[in-house]
Amino acid sequence: MKWALLSVWEKSGIVELAQALVKNKYNILSSGGTGKALAEAGVPFTEVSSYTGFPEMMDGRVKTLHPKVHGGLLGRRQIDDAVMARYGINRIDLLVVNLYPFEKMSGRVMALDKLIEYIDVGGPAMIRAAAKNFKDVAVVVDPSDYPLVIKTIGEAGFIPEQRLMLAKKAFARTAAYDAAISNYLSNLDMAFPPILSLQFTHGRMLRYGENPHQQAAVYGTAGIAGAEPLQGKQMSYNNYLDVNAGTALLLEFAEPAAVIVKHNNPCGVSIGTDILDAYLTAREVDPASAYGSVVSLNREVDKKLAEAIDSTFVEVVVAPSFTKEAFDTMKKKENMRVLILPERMNTDEVRTIDGGILVQRTPPYTENWTVITDRDPTTDEMQALRIAWKVCKHAKSNTIIFADQKHTLGIGAGQMSRVDSAKIAIEKACAPLAGSAVASDAFLPFPDTLEVAAKAGATALVQPGGSIRDKEVIEAANRLNMAMIFTGVRYFRH
């Protein structure tokens, strides 16, 4: 007879698994809540305390921490048989364990002395023991693997490749569990722990990285990382980056809005009376760059909008929903990826550098818009300034954005010189800039950028302020009759 030890917090499917084990002549060891569930279902099992000769104690803290349990998991066949026989240790051939839900409970408001009772000790110890001895013991930590177990025990049993696969999952689970505990406890008294452990699941290989000679994968089950196309080709590394950039900017707008992104920079942004109006206007900001772009929309896509999107080459379109007619229309573009706009997760930003990572967090903050020129912005200028500033947050620095009351007019981003960014924005402008507003993601160190913008027709400017030459820039704005606002917040994006 073979032995299986079952000890699970999440009990979905455990009774059916136990019934299959009994049918295939397994003896079952169990205890606590798992044993109660088996007993209620009429599944025969042996209490762990009966097997070890020691009762559960300390409110259940100690029940499986015993040589007869760990010896059964760690004992090497043909090597440790004599020792196991001498001490009455049964071979445990299958371990099924899932852990106390520390990750879930740590997200609730709970006193620490209560929360620590959700730190599993016996479970991880058994998982590690079984996974170490995977050649002889199959270890199952994921209920989604129960069907595999049921099928396998009813046939020829576990093959070595299956055992190794299950062991890999087991060690990944205990690593993630320990990381969650470590990170939580460290964050009790410090913003960033001295050791940061990151765990992401659902890893999927991508066709390649930024370029065809590079390898890449995406990990995650939520937000942009968890998004997969409803139609079209597999998402690429660059697609994920552009969708992430576009949807982040899209959240700046409550009204119908369209954001078109190319190479991680917005190339057209517009609000409209409806979403079709917003998209068409955004596309006209820079039609050449819109070719092969990623389109993010904050309203449902209908057939008419789908036809407009199909009229040019779009890599990815993201929206909260699509009508059936829109889907049918978009199927004609079989390679175009179509995504449902996911909920934004607002997690820490993590970027790799040689030898390590950088971690950035954005706590709640408030901008302080202050008019610092002789002239206040008009109502129209203020609307244009707000659009330019929203877009400015999400373009690569140095960035200069020209806008009117509805959409961006010119975008200059990613330049070493702020003046060069302004000149590029002017050169790429989709319409005359007379009466436009301009935004700068960081302070103006000299009046030159403002003067270039004014010469192009801009009449209002928004910037963080804070330069040692602010006085010179303010004087230039007054001389040119420009309204200028300081926000007090810089938006570098490297």
Identify whether the C-beta of residue 28 lies closer than 8 Å to the C-beta of residue 8: no
In 3D space, the residue among 242, 251, 310, 252 whose CA is nearest the CA of residue 279 turns out to be 310
Query: Which residues are identified as catalytic?
Result: 132, 263
* Tokens found for residue 480: 């040119």
Q: Sign of torsion, CA 413 262 276 247?
A: negative
CB within 8 Å of 239: residues ≥ 6 apart: 294, 315, 316, 337
Identify whether the C-beta of residue 384 lies closer than 8 Å to the C-beta of residue 436: yes
Range 111-139 burial, b when 16+ CB lie within 10 A, else e:
eeeebeebbbebbbbbbbbbbebbebbbb
| Distance of alpha carbon 291 from alpha carbon 115, whole angstroms | 53
Residue type, 485: I
3-state SS class at 98: strand
DSSP symbols for 27-85: EEEE-HHHHHHHHHTT---EEHHHHHS---BTTTTBSS-SHHHHHHHHPPTTTSHHHHH
Identify whether the C-beta of residue 5 lies closer than 8 Å to the C-beta of residue 94: yes
Element (H or E) spanning 440, and its range? strand 437-440
Element (H or E) spanning 467, and its range? none
* Tokens found for residue 400: 């200069």
| Distance of alpha carbon 274 from alpha carbon 263, whole angstroms | 26
Identify whether the C-beta of residue 269 lies closer than 8 Å to the C-beta of residue 249: yes
| Distance of alpha carbon 101 from alpha carbon 342, whole angstroms | 25
* Tokens found for residue 436: 């436009």
Instruction: Tell me which long-range contacts 67-75 makes (C-beta under 8 A, separation of at least 24).
Output: 69/5, 69/29, 69/126, 70/125, 70/126, 70/129, 72/3, 72/5, 73/5, 73/126, 73/129, 73/130, 73/133, 73/137, 74/129, 74/132, 74/133, 75/133, 75/136
With left for phi above 0 and alpha for psi between -120 and 50, is residue 262 left, alpha or beta?
Answer: beta
Identify whether the C-beta of residue 255 lies closer than 8 Å to the C-beta of residue 387: no
CB within 8 Å of 431: residues ≥ 6 apart: 404, 409
